[in-house]
């Protein structure tokens, strides 16, 4: 199969994108002039504007005032800064909520929420749905030809869920589409359990607060429905924009880590990967996450890469310093934002963008970090921003290059949601921390991996990990991958339920034949309990008694004599591993695989990632996250320091190099 040519996702921007959210409407005009001067000093070439400006553009019913936005767009143009123009639909103003009270979201308990913050809308309310299309259409009509316009930014971080009657009506329609009739719905939801059979569509409501734990299949479908409804909103705005502005890329900023947004981003990725679309993501590090602190950047990037399917993607937001809503107090150490920003670029981002350009003087985010903090240009933060801007210029030639990963970790958001549904056997078998733990273990060994979806073509990855994949309908795609020569590693309690969260007969269900293992009984462990294995390692949180049905037993439990813990099986030209517990030391397990880093022996925390152009030009990013200097045995030219790089060149602690390689 010939790979599709890599798309230029930000053709309107020269080189890599560098800038952030810019809210000049919060400032008097004289500050705007200073902003442009500082942007030039920092090398900013793009600003995301109009994210939260509904109230100024459309201050009342039928009233449209574009004067201020015209000025902002002209200001950017005069300063040589391109605009990532947002549609401002993420925050309806009070007049709108008052005029259309049914657009305010309803909580699971049934009460309607008030306005006074942001994202106060019900995704299912026709008045809101119509208003956002009108807004997008008017903006696109007006600014399609503006010379500052580089790209469109629809909404902002879609995540709102609502439980109102309008939501109920849309949910019923979505379910009819999915199941055809009530028999189909009752089957899928297993409503004979607790006598929940539906006899009329009108009886089907959102999963509002009820007296007991609700039906898990029902809860799961509501999450699917919510994700689809938000995606429909995005697409409705994108279509309205494309009518007037067919040649500019359109995006929306995804919140890639965790599950806060409740969106199935692999599903969203399909719609964000077409012509004139791009994957852009927001990422805020979790400061007190000691196990996986440094690899967090690589993890967010791995998922972004997975969503972009081989195309570059864009880091739309990060924080230049402490994020106030993280509890504050977690300042980035000197050099950290440089290393982290470069980390995203190393892993395929076509630039480094921030929330936000200038710190707000008021509002909830008045203490959130910014490229220009309250302390202005003499701050360490701004000085580092200037340094980064210079690096971004030096790196212009990497635009359009991509990262090839040696491995993939499988993530299915629906399976994560399945885990979140009521009635799980163990609350310690959470998927995301486990995925990140495997990712961190690979990162520490110098293995670059993507986060991929279990149903996609995985043949480009020599090794695929499925540490936590509770819900899997069938093994067809994974079998194809293994038989074709891949190595698949499956973690415990995977493949056990179908798409409706019904338990497959014959544990471990969908994967039983492929693994050649029969699980007899699950043994959920206490939080601090460990089980000893006969290779000297241990497992935590979970164990299983299991018997071979063709797989070879590699490691057994000491605590459950005669019971296997780790199985291995050759299938077709590939192989599959099954772990019936969560190994406490992933390294020992990874030693069993044929997965070598390019530079064996690099100290843990010295990260290397390569970006390659289709014509073969390649760039080795070297990020030294440690406090000791390191040597990277490569040859070429360091684009950051603009000096030659030889195999004996040292990379000082807490610094980076980007080596244009001579190969
Ligand atoms: C999110 C939002 C921004 C801002 C930042 C920082 O990513 O998109 O508007 O709130 O977080 O908190």
- The whole-number pLDDT of residue 286 equals 82
Q: Before 508, cis peptide (omega within 30)? A: yes
Residue with tokens 């000791």: 628
Q: Which residues pair with 86 in a beta bridge?
A: 153
Distance (Å) from CA 157 to ligand 1 centroid? 8
Work out the angle between the directed axes of helices 431-444 and 413-420 (0-180°, nearest 10): 130
Residue with tokens 């719609």: 271
**Given pLDDT bands bounded at 50, 70 and 90, which one contains residue 2?**
very low
- The whole-number pLDDT of residue 562 equals 82
What average pLDDT does this structure show over 7-15? 95
Distance (Å) from CA 483 to ligand 1 centroid? 44
Distance (Å) from CA 251 to ligand 1 centroid? 16
The burial of 627, by beta-carbon neighbours within 10 Å (0-12 exposed, 13-18 middle, 19 or more buried), is given as exposed
Residue 317: CB within 6 Å of ligand 1? Answer: yes
Q: Is the torsion defined by CA of 202, 205, 211, 216 positive or negative?
A: positive
257 has pLDDT over 90: no
Nearest to 157 by CA among 253, 262, 49: 253
**Cβ atoms of residues 208 and 218 within 8 Å:** no
In terms of pTM, does the model score above 0.85?
A: yes
Residue 48: CB within 6 Å of ligand 1? Answer: no
Residue 282: CB within 6 Å of ligand 1? Answer: yes
569 has pLDDT over 60: yes
- The whole-number pLDDT of residue 288 equals 66
Q: Before 467, cis peptide (omega within 30)? A: no
What average pLDDT does this structure show over 339-346? 97
Residue 611, φ and ψ in degrees, nearest 5: -110, 135
Residue 475: CB within 6 Å of ligand 1? Answer: no
The phi-psi region of residue 55 (left if phi > 0; otherwise alpha if psi is between -120 and 50; otherwise beta) is alpha
Distance (Å) from CA 549 to ligand 1 centroid? 51
Catalytic residue annotation: 157, 317
Mutational test site, ligand 1, from 117, 282, 316, max ligand atoms within 8 Å of CB = 282
What average pLDDT does this structure show over 349-361? 98
Q: What is the mean pLDDT of the chain?
A: 95
140 has pLDDT over 60: yes
What residue's CA is closest to ligand 1, atom 5? 355
Distance (Å) from CA 355 to ligand 1 centroid? 6
| Cα–Cα distance, 605 to 647 (Å, whole number) | 19
- The whole-number pLDDT of residue 362 equals 97
| Cα–Cα distance, 420 to 427 (Å, whole number) | 9
Does an H or E element contain 324, and which?
Answer: none
475 has pLDDT over 60: yes
Residue 365: CB within 6 Å of ligand 1? Answer: yes
The phi-psi region of residue 146 (left if phi > 0; otherwise alpha if psi is between -120 and 50; otherwise beta) is beta
- Give the chain's domains with CATH numbers: 39-44+249-400 (3.20.20.80), 407-590 (3.40.50.880), 606-661 (2.60.40.1180)
- The whole-number pLDDT of residue 328 equals 56
What average pLDDT does this structure show over 171-180? 98
**Cβ atoms of residues 611 and 631 within 8 Å:** no
Mutational test site, ligand 1, from 284, 317, 327, max ligand atoms within 8 Å of CB = 317
Residue 355: CB within 6 Å of ligand 1? Answer: yes
327 has pLDDT over 70: no
Atom of ligand 1 nearest to the CA of 365: 12
**Given pLDDT bands bounded at 50, 70 and 90, which one contains residue 57?**
very high
List pLDDT tens digits, range 261-303. Answer: 899 999 999 999 988 999 999 999 887 665 456 799 999 999 9
325 has pLDDT over 90: no
39 has pLDDT over 90: yes
Residue 156: CB within 6 Å of ligand 1? Answer: yes
The conformation of residue 604, written as its DSSP 8-state character, comes to T
- Give the pairing type, strands 574-579 and 487-490: parallel
List pLDDT tens digits, range 498-555. Answer: 999 999 999 999 999 999 999 999 999 999 999 999 999 999 999 999 999 999 999 9
181 has pLDDT over 80: yes
Distance (Å) from CA 119 to ligand 1 centroid? 12
List pLDDT tens digits, range 88-114. Answer: 999 999 999 999 999 999 999 999 999
Task: Determine the 3-state secondary structure of 499 from DSSP.
Answer: coil
Q: Is the torsion defined by CA of 189, 194, 200, 203 positive or negative?
A: negative
List pLDDT tens digits, range 59-97. Answer: 999 999 999 999 999 999 999 999 999 999 999 999 999
The percentage of residues in the chain with a pLDDT greater than 90, rounded to a whole number, is: 93
Atom of ligand 1 nearest to the CA of 157: 8
Nearest to 455 by CA among 216, 267, 607, 602: 267
Residue 152: CB within 6 Å of ligand 1? Answer: no
249 has pLDDT over 50: yes
What residue's CA is closest to ligand 1, atom 11? 355
List pLDDT tens digits, range 196-241. Answer: 999 999 999 999 999 999 999 999 999 999 999 999 999 999 999 9
Highest mean pLDDT among 324-333, 498-507, 557-566: 498-507
| Cα–Cα distance, 126 to 128 (Å, whole number) | 5
- The whole-number pLDDT of residue 76 equals 98
4 has pLDDT over 80: no
**Cβ atoms of residues 276 and 126 within 8 Å:** no
1 has pLDDT over 50: no
| Cα–Cα distance, 258 to 567 (Å, whole number) | 30
Q: What is the dihedral of CA 287, 292, 297, 299, to 10 degrees?
A: -140
**Cβ atoms of residues 316 and 282 within 8 Å:** yes
What residue's CA is closest to ligand 1, atom 7? 282
The percentage of residues in the chain with a pLDDT greater than 70, rounded to a whole number, is: 98
- The whole-number pLDDT of residue 3 equals 57
| Cα–Cα distance, 545 to 556 (Å, whole number) | 10
- The whole-number pLDDT of residue 256 equals 87
- The whole-number pLDDT of residue 322 equals 84
Residue 264: CB within 6 Å of ligand 1? Answer: no
395 has pLDDT over 70: yes
What average pLDDT does this structure show over 316-341? 85
Distance (Å) from CA 149 to ligand 1 centroid? 22
Give the tokens for residue 626: 């440690």
What residue's CA is closest to ligand 1, atom 6? 355
Residue 120: CB within 6 Å of ligand 1? Answer: no
329 has pLDDT over 60: no
């Amino acid at each position: 199969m010939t790979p599709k040519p890599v798309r230029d996702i930000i053709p309107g921007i020269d080189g890599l994108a560098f800038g952030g959210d810019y809210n000049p409407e919060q400032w008097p005009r004289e500050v705007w002039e200073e902003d442009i001067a500082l942007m030039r000093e920092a090398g900013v070439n793009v600003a995301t504007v109009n994210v939260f400006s509904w109230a100024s553009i459309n201050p009342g019913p039928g009233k449209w005032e574009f004067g201020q936005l015209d000025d902002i767009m002209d200001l950017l143009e005069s300063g040589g800064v391109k605009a990532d123009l947002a549609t401002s639909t993420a925050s309806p103003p009070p007049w709108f909520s008052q005029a259309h009270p049914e657009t305010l979201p309803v909580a699971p308990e049934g009460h309607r929420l008030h306005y006074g913050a942001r994202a106060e809308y019900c995704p299912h309310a026709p008045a809101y749905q119509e208003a956002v299309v009108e807004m997008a259409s008017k903006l696109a009509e007006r600014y399609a030809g503006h010379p500052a316009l580089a790209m469109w930014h629809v909404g902002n971080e879609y995540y709102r869920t609502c439980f109102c009657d309008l939501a109920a009506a849309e949910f019923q329609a979505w379910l009819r589409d999915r199941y055809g009739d009530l028999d189909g719905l009752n089957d899928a939801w297993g409503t004979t359990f607790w006598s929940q059979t539906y006899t009329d569509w009108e009886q089907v409501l959102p999963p509002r607060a009820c007296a007991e734990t609700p039906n898990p299949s029902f809860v799961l479908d509501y999450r699917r429905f919510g994700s689809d409804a938000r995606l429909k909103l995005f697409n409705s705005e994108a279509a309205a924009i494309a009518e007037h502005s067919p040649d500019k890329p359109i995006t929306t900023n995804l919140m890639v880590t965790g599950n806060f947004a409740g969106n199935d981003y692999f599903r969203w990725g399909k719609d964000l990967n077409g012509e004139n679309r791009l994957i852009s993501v927001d990422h805020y590090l979790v400061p007190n996450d000691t196990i996986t602190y440094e690899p967090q950047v690589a993890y967010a990037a791995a998922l972004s890469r997975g969503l972009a399917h081989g195309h570059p993607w864009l880091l739309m937001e990060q924080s230049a310093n402490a994020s106030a809503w993280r509890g504050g107090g977690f300042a980035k150490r000197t050099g950290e934002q440089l290393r982290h920003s470069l980390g995203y670029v190393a892993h395929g981002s076509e630039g480094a963008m921030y929330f936000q350009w200038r710190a707000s003087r008021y509002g909830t985010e008045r203490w959130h970090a910014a490229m220009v903090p309250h302390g202005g240009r003499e701050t360490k933060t701004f000085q580092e921003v200037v340094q980064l801007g210079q690096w971004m210029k030096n790196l212009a030639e990497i635009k359009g290059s991509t990262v090839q990963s040696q491995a993939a970790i499988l993530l299915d958001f629906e399976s994560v949601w399945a885990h979140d549904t009521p009635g799980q056997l163990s609350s310690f078998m959470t998927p995301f921390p486990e995925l990140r733990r495997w990712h961190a273990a690979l990162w520490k060994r110098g293995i670059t991996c993507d986060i991929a979806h279990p149903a996609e073509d995985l043949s480009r990855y020599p090794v695929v990990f499925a540490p936590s994949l509770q819900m899997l309908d069938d093994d067809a795609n994974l079998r194809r991958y293994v038989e074709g020569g891949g190595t698949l590693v499956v973690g415990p309690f995977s493949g056990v339920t179908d798409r409706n969260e019904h338990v497959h007969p014959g544990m471990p269900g969908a994967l039983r034949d492929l693994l050649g293992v029969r699980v007899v009984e699950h043994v959920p462990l206490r939080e601090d309990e460990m089980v000893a294995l006969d290779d000297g390692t241990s497992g935590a949180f979970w164990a299983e008694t299991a018997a071979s049905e063709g797989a070879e037993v590699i490691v057994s439990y000491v605590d459950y004599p005669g019971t296997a813990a780790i199985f291995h099986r050759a299938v077709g030209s590939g192989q599959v591993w099954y772990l019936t517990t969560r190994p406490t030391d992933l390294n020992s397990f990874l030693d069993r695989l044929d997965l070598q880093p390019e530079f064996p022996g690099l100290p843990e925390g010295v990260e290397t990632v390569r970006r390659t152009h289709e014509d073969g030009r390649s760039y080795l990013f070297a990020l030294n996250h440690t406090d000791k200097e390191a040597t990277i045995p490569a040859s070429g030219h360091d684009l950051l320091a603009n000096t030659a790089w030889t195999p004996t060149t040292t990379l000082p602690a807490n610094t980076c190099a980007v080596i244009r390689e001579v190969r």
